[in-house]
Structure 1
Amino acid sequence: MDFATKMENDKRENSYVDPSAGKVSVRRYAAEWLALKPMAAGTEESYERIMRLHVLPQLGKKTISQVTAADVEELYALWRRQDAMPNTIDSRRIALSGMFSHAVRHKRIRENPVKQAEKPANPIMQVDERALPSFDEISALAKEIGPRLEPAVWLMACCGLRIGESLGVFPEDIADGTLRCRRQVVRIKNSSGKYVALYAPLKHRKEGEWHDIPAPATLEPLAERLPIRNQAGGMIYPDLFRKSWDRALKRLGLPGYNPHDLRHKWATVTLSNGVPIHEVSRWMGHSSIKITVDRYGHLTLDGSDRCRQVIEATYGVHMLSGFPAPRELGAELVLA
């Protein structure tokens, strides 16, 4: 079949794609896609950051029709060399695939190169509780990071919040031993092209949805320093917090802990002290308990010991009372 005949067939089947439609650069198309696609503010912030920092430096100058599955696989390999975790690579892959799927739907290209590329493995990694900061290190970090940001450290450590969630807590959100997590702080580019921080719905939640988390009484004195603001009274967004965190780590001479390690520490402390995993999953705001089990299930309080105790208590007395004495058993064997 010659090209002209194929083109006519594609037009009849409404599958024709004008070869010139894909001659827009990845950089330009990414900007158009982010501006047009309706998405939650938190998702928009994440996707914009992924494109700006991890996709456009490598693919930005190519046209969307020039990007191949091989290009995508090379991008995965680069991210691995940069020590990106498997779940981080998968998050970037999802964003990249979303952009190219949009181009396919709008007949800018025929196929999505991300779907054609070999998907990188993404096993859910168990949290290594031994690699988390100690209680003394957390306390030192809270002091070193300064009085403005100290409440965020303790909110993450004592309630398992994400960074953006800790920056979105108001005094009235903490009452009667419960923290009502309602919002997160994100940073997005507004219609004028300026980056602004704003409050957004929680991850995996719609506008107005919230979840409760048990809050220790020791958090209540910190409420007067909420919400967390900078010296000028402006909002602090997660990347700014990370910079202050990294500087505090350096001054203290501590390992390269991530602020998210405080969330892992909270899960470790609760589960290793017998708090039910389904409750921990709900309080963490996970979309599925499977995520919690896969990452933290090994931390549940002495699971194998409790299993042995339950079975021994249930069957032990019956089994022991039903066994003949060793001497009698030996006699029976001889007689047999």
Structure 2
Amino acid sequence: MNVSDLLKYCELHEWRQARSKATLRTNIKQLKALIGDEDIAGLHYTRLKRLASDLETYGGRTAAPATIKRKLDTLSNALTIATKMTNPDGSPVLLAKPTFPTFEIDNIQERVISDAELVDLFEVIAARREVEPHRDWTRFDALIRFLLATACRRGEALRVWPGHIDKRIVEGAARHFVIFQRYTTKTKKPRIVPLSPEIVAMLPALRLQAGNGPLFPFTASMLWGMWKAVRQDMAKRGHDFSLVRYHTTRHTTLTKAMKRYPLAMVSKLAGHASIQITADRYGHLSADDLVEMVDGLAA
């Protein structure tokens, strides 16, 4: 069996409930292009190291280690499935899975978006809306505000449909909540987050446009192109957004929350599996954060 046939089988029969179909299809497309015709029994560590190198420069862009790892993980999962499959004569399709190369992945996000940068960011988006009416900059604006307000991940936001917005009475007042459903989150556990008044005010328009679809109907390629435009416009205003990603909105909100609220509450908002993860990733302090403490000790 070659790699293409295995990936096709997995996509049709094993990965039908995959969380991110778009990412999966991209991974499969690149793997097929690079090693699709090769026999899975002939794959070995050295060949996989060369594949990792090819993935790094695929399409003329340099991919990050985490991106390469995700694509290799797709192949690794497929080969694991192959070890459980048999040929028509009862013989195993693959006796053993080869050893895969490892990567040092640094997922710690340090960059936060300042209040001044946020002002310019939304001005940039508003300007784009005027000059590019063919792009849905209105819902893009709403997406960025939603990411900041809920501290959710981009993938989680893209899986929110109108039916995932819940209205409840809390202490005598009506409040809206967004429900990030089971298996759509990184921990594969459901999470419920209250919505700010700003987001609630946007809901009628978002629901009307969504119809029977998601609130934010963007593809990965659409979001990449729009964020690239935002980076260029922010650079013209003197802001270096080269290291700012969609995930930076999450880090910005959680970092601010860490300075004002108990760790347990921030961890609940983040949806982390443990408080320790929250403390490790978002509990860092800058020198400026220590000024008030040092002044108090010296008094």
Compute the TM-score of the two structures, normalised by the length of structure 2. 0.71
2:34 aligned partner? 58
Q: 2:195 aligns with which of 215, 218, 225?
A: 215
Q: CA RMSD in A?
A: 3.7
Query: 1:51 offset after TM fit, Å?
Result: 1.8
Contact 2:179 2:191 in 1 (8 A): yes
Counterparts of 2:80 and 2:265 in 1: how far apart (Å)?
Answer: 37
1:70 aligned partner? 46
The alignment status of 1:239 with 2:217, answered yes or no, reads no
Query: 1:42 offset after TM fit, Å?
Result: 0.9
Q: 1:267 aligns with which of 254, 257, 260?
A: 254
Q: 2:26 aligns with which of 49, 56, 72?
A: 49
Counterparts of 1:252 and 1:174 in 2: how far apart (Å)?
Answer: 37
Counterparts of 1:147 and 1:215 in 2: how far apart (Å)?
Answer: 19
Q: What is the DSSP-based 3-state SS (H/G/I as helix, E as strand, rest coil) of the residue aligned with 2:193? A: strand
Counterparts of 1:222 and 1:243 in 2: how far apart (Å)?
Answer: 23
Contact 1:178 1:212 in 2 (8 A): no
Counterparts of 1:25 and 1:131 in 2: how far apart (Å)?
Answer: 50
Contact 1:180 1:210 in 2 (8 A): no
| Aligned positions of 1:80-159 closer than 5 A | 80=56, 82-106=61-85, 107-113=92-98, 116-129=99-112, 134-143=117-126, 144=128, 146-159=137-150
Contact 2:3 2:36 in 1 (8 A): yes
Larger Rg computed on CA atoms: 1
Contact 1:169 1:181 in 2 (8 A): no
Counterparts of 2:166 and 2:121 in 1: how far apart (Å)?
Answer: 23
Q: 1:180 aligns with which of 174, 178, 181?
A: 178
User: What residue ranges of structure 2 are gaps of 5+ in the alignment?
Assistant: 86-91, 130-136, 169-173, 236-240
Q: What is the DSSP-based 3-state SS (H/G/I as helix, E as strand, rest coil) of the residue aligned with 2:207? A: coil
Give a deviation string over 1:35-70, Cα, whole Å, max 9, x none.
1215633155443332223x2222112121222211
Contact 1:158 1:266 in 2 (8 A): yes
Distance 1:136 1:165, change over 3 A: same
Counterparts of 1:94 and 1:227 in 2: how far apart (Å)?
Answer: 36
Give a deviation string over 1:122-159, Cα, whole Å, max 9, x none.
24434233799921233224423522332212101221
The alignment status of 1:170 with 2:149, answered yes or no, reads no
Give a deviation string over 1:78-98, Cα, whole Å, max 9, x none.
445554334333333322211
1:263 maps to amino acid? R
Counterparts of 1:136 and 1:303 in 2: how far apart (Å)?
Answer: 23
Counterparts of 1:226 and 1:105 in 2: how far apart (Å)?
Answer: 45
Counterparts of 1:74 and 1:140 in 2: how far apart (Å)?
Answer: 45
Distance 1:219 1:234, change over 3 A: closer
2:105 maps to amino acid? N
Q: What is the DSSP-based 3-state SS (H/G/I as helix, E as strand, rest coil) of the residue aligned with 2:49? A: helix
Counterparts of 1:141 and 1:270 in 2: how far apart (Å)?
Answer: 26
Q: What is the DSSP-based 3-state SS (H/G/I as helix, E as strand, rest coil) of the residue aligned with 1:129? A: coil
The alignment status of 1:294 with 2:270, answered yes or no, reads no
Query: 1:32 offset after TM fit, Å?
Result: 0.4
Counterparts of 1:138 and 1:221 in 2: how far apart (Å)?
Answer: 20
Number of matched pairs: 267
1:155 maps to amino acid? F
The alignment status of 1:282 with 2:262, answered yes or no, reads no
Q: What is the DSSP-based 3-state SS (H/G/I as helix, E as strand, rest coil) of the residue aligned with 1:261? A: helix
Contact 1:148 1:225 in 2 (8 A): no
Identical-residue share of aligned pairs (%): 17
1:40 aligned partner? 17
Compute the TM-score of the two structures, normalised by the length of structure 1. 0.64
